[in-house]
């Protein structure tokens, strides 16, 4: 009888623990928010629970801080995002993605020096990280250093030949240098990779307009507006 009672107690403990374990798994899934399934508010709550629950190692905790920071950044809470990226990097100093994400946040605050420093660190940790080269190129472009920007976009495209955004961004850098033919080639390649890329149509329209080809420019502006009718920049025909 005593053995039977002990078995019942053990079974009860196991059953009680199962829902808690399932809940932790659900919170981790919400915190990761792959594919943007959950709202940012739900993601923040889930990441906070994962952080407070303490059931993950330092690397897992760093991921939770990084994911919560992404949600804060998506809401425009940049200072909170930076604080969480700082925590993620302190927990895992080799976390290239956290450096990249913190760089994105610094760039959003127009702190380009800090952004580039973080991109540099991310690249040092992960030299094949195409997104970081693209992001650093954009920061160099913001500084007016279009030659360095183009060099970084070149690398991003070499690492990922299907990187439509890098082609578009390199097109912007060429256009800023007055190299409109090269810009149009890059915008056209971005559109070939992603036929619904409204921004690339809009930018190609600007390049055609700069070359005096208003027929093609207006056709591209029209296409951009059709693809993204709620974007006021496209409604203004590239102005």
Q: Each residue of 24-71: pLDDT tens digit?
A: 566 767 887 677 777 889 899 999 999 998 668 999 999 999 999 999
Tokens 């969480």 — which residue?
84
Does residue 49 lie in a domain region? yes
The alpha carbon torsion through 205, 211, 216, 219 (nearest 10 deg) reads 30
Does residue 22 lie in a domain region? no
Identify the weakest region by mean pLDDT among 32-41, 80-89, 172-181, 189-198: 32-41
Residue pair 89/67 in contact (Cβ under 8 Å)? The answer is no
Does residue 169 lie in a domain region? yes
User: What would the pLDDT profile of 118-145 be if each residue is shown by its tens digit?
Assistant: 999 999 999 999 999 999 999 999 999 9
CATH of the domain at 73: 1.25.40.10
Determine the longest span between alpha carbons in the chain, in angstroms: 94
Give the per-residue pLDDT at 116.
99
Give the per-residue pLDDT at 238.
55
Instruction: Give the pLDDT band of residue 100 (cuts 50, 70, 90).
Output: very high
Does residue 4 lie in a domain region? no
Residue 89 belongs to what domain range? Answer: 38-110
Tell me 238's DSSP state.
T
User: What would the pLDDT profile of 4-21 be if each residue is shown by its tens digit?
Assistant: 344 333 333 333 344 444
Answer yes or no: is pLDDT of 91 > 50: yes
* 233 and 167 share one domain: yes
* 100 and 163 share one domain: no
Last residue of a domain, one of 88, 110, 132: 110
Residue pair 180/174 in contact (Cβ under 8 Å)? The answer is yes
Does residue 120 lie in a domain region? no
* 164 and 232 share one domain: yes
The distance in angstroms from the start CA to the end CA of the chain is: 84
Q: What domain count does the chain have?
A: 2
Does residue 84 lie in a domain region? yes
Does residue 142 lie in a domain region? no
* 161 and 233 share one domain: yes
Answer yes or no: is pLDDT of 78 > 50: yes
């Amino acid at each position: 009888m005593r053995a039977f009672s002990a078995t019942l107690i053990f079974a009860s403990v196991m059953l009680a623990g199962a829902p808690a374990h399932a809940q932790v798994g659900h919170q981790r899934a919400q915190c990761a928010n792959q594919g943007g399934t959950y709202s940012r508010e739900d993601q923040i709550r889930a990441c906070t629970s994962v952080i407070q629950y303490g059931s993950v190692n330092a690397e897992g905790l760093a991921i939770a801080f990084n994911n919560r920071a992404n949600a804060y950044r998506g809401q425009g809470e940049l200072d909170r995002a930076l604080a969480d990226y700082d925590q993620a990097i302190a927990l895992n100093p080799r976390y290239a993605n956290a450096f990249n994400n913190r760089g994105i946040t610094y760039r959003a605050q127009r702190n380009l020096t800090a952004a580039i420093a973080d991109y540099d660190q991310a690249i040092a940790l992960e030299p094949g990280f195409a997104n970081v080269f693209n992001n650093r190129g954009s920061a160099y472009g913001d500084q007016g250093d279009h030659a360095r920007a183009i060099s970084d976009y070149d690398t991003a495209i070499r690492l990922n030949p299907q990187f439509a955004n890098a082609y578009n961004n390199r097109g912007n850098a060429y256009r800023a240098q007055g190299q409109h033919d090269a810009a149009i080639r890059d915008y056209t390649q971005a559109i070939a990779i992603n036929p619904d890329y409204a921004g690339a149509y809009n930018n190609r329209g600007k390049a055609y307009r700069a070359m005096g080809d208003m027929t093609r420019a207006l056709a591209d502006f029209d296409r951009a507006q059709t693809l993204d009718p709620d974007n006021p920049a496209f409604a203004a025909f590239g102005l």
